[in-house]
Amino acid sequence: MLPSLLRIARVPFVRDVATMQVGRMVSIGCNFLSSILYARFLGIGGYGSYAVILAFTGVFGLITNLGQQMTLTTFLAEAWGRQDKNAMREISHYYILLSLGTALLMGILMLIAPWLTERIYGDPIMGTLARLVFLSSMFEFVFSFFAVALQTVREIRLLAFLENAKTVVQLAAATIFLILGYEVAGVLWSSVIAAGTFFVLSLLLFPRFRARHDFPHLREMLRPMPWKKLWKYSKDGIWIAVDKSIGNLYPNIFLFILSMQASTGIVGLIRLAFKLADLPSAVGLNSISRMASSALSAMSGNAELLRKNFLRLTRHTIFVHGTISAAAMILVPVFLPLVYGQEFSVAAYPFLVIVVLHILNGLHTSVIPILRLHSKIYIATLMNLFSMGIAIGLFFVFEPELGSTRALYIGLAVYHVLISSILWPTLQLLRERTLHSHSTRTIS
């Protein structure tokens, strides 16, 4: 047993995941603490308003997500694996170009947000506060690029340190603002401060990083490239953007439609349930998912190896995630009223429903990188869009008879079952690629 564990521990991918997981624990702790602080300081009403603002920005921010980060993650790792500096420059230029376009769209949303919330909720103040969320997102682009670059070259310790430091800065700022009585506005301003701080820090750290790893210089990234090459990334990037945008709608789209039918207090309780149900994913899935995207891309030249590692990763991920989720189902309902307060104890019921459904998310950790790698991401996009449409339709069908929360449970259950069926076309794709590889070698 011990020799097997030691052998596994020597695998670079496993070491990187372990490093990210250790760093991730700090982030999980801060996020958990922040949710307690927000609930305690804001109460159900204030926490509900905060949830509605995030649901609003998550849904309307859909048009600003052009998929540049995941496109960068996929193709930068592939270019780095080939040591193709020109391809690294091209994908970096693509990321910068689309990030500027995203910032422009966010600027437009900032202008019209109060008008939108007045039409939807009868409250323009929510739109004014939503502007802070969009402003924070505009600052994230530079740090996101630096984070992907660090992940690509496996500087995992520095990446974990920076991400944890950013989380701590945001939590510290939010705590100060809440103590001073700034309520929801203080929480949102803390995100702006953290994003702005690490925007500047990333610019300061990148030159040394570039010199260590022979990355393209910033002026090379900014140099225009032919439209033909830009289209090479765009044709995959468009589907990645749509898939990522639709993926980011979860759970915001469900909270958004719930906010149209229920009070802010109920929306706040359901958001807390989603937050707690994400804890097993934060512990068991996030680090594996991020490393899987880079590691599986690097194996793209060996179809048999790719298929073997995909199956192994899928099995292990489901087992780990299921085990952690089972533990959460026992512990969270017991400690929820003690930690958050008795008024939030009812969130335990939606939590149990959501955490069971989230076990199926383990499939997507390995499926999505494979589809992106083989330019088949449109399969996930269409499946996600179809599943979400069916789920939302069922919510409105059952809501008059069963009430908003029970109708929401039905929609969520159907959504998760439908999107999990994407495993089968992915397995078929890998099988075809493996057979093609064998036949090619035989002919040679």
pLDDT in the model for residue 284: 66
DSSP 290-306: HHHHHHHHHTTT-HHHH
pLDDT in the model for residue 426: 86
Please tell me the least confidently modeled range out of 58-67, 68-77, 169-178, 231-240.
Answer: 231-240
For the cut 80, the answer to whether the pLDDT of residue 65 exceeds it is: no
Per residue in 413-432, pLDDT (tens digit) is 999 999 999 888 888 888 88
For 37, residues 6+ apart whose C-beta sits below 8 A from its C-beta are 171, 174, 175, 178
Q: Which of 133-147, 224-238, 297-311 has the highest mean pLDDT?
A: 133-147
Q: 272, 347 in Cβ contact below 8 A?
A: yes
Per residue in 179-224, pLDDT (tens digit) is 999 999 999 999 999 999 999 999 999 999 998 998 988 888 988 8
Report helix, strand or coil for 224: coil
For the cut 50, the answer to whether the pLDDT of residue 112 exceeds it is: yes
- Separation of alpha carbons 149 and 73, rounded Å: 8
pLDDT in the model for residue 7: 55
Inter-axis angle of helices 348-358 and 264-277, nearest 10: 40
For the cut 60, the answer to whether the pLDDT of residue 379 exceeds it is: yes
Mean pLDDT of 249-269: 92
pLDDT in the model for residue 399: 95
Q: How confident is the model at residue 334 (pLDDT cuts 50, 70, 90)?
A: very high
CA 271 to chain centroid, in Å, comes to 16
Mean pLDDT of 168-185: 96
Instruction: Return the structure tokens found at 323.
Output: 């085990």
What's this model's pTM, rounded to 2 decimal places? Answer: 0.80
- Separation of alpha carbons 307 and 290, rounded Å: 18
Instruction: Give exposure, 375-403, as e/b (b: 16+ Cβ within 10 Å).
Output: ebbebbbebbbebbeebbebbeebbeeee
Report helix, strand or coil for 182: coil
For the cut 70, the answer to whether the pLDDT of residue 98 exceeds it is: yes
Report helix, strand or coil for 120: helix
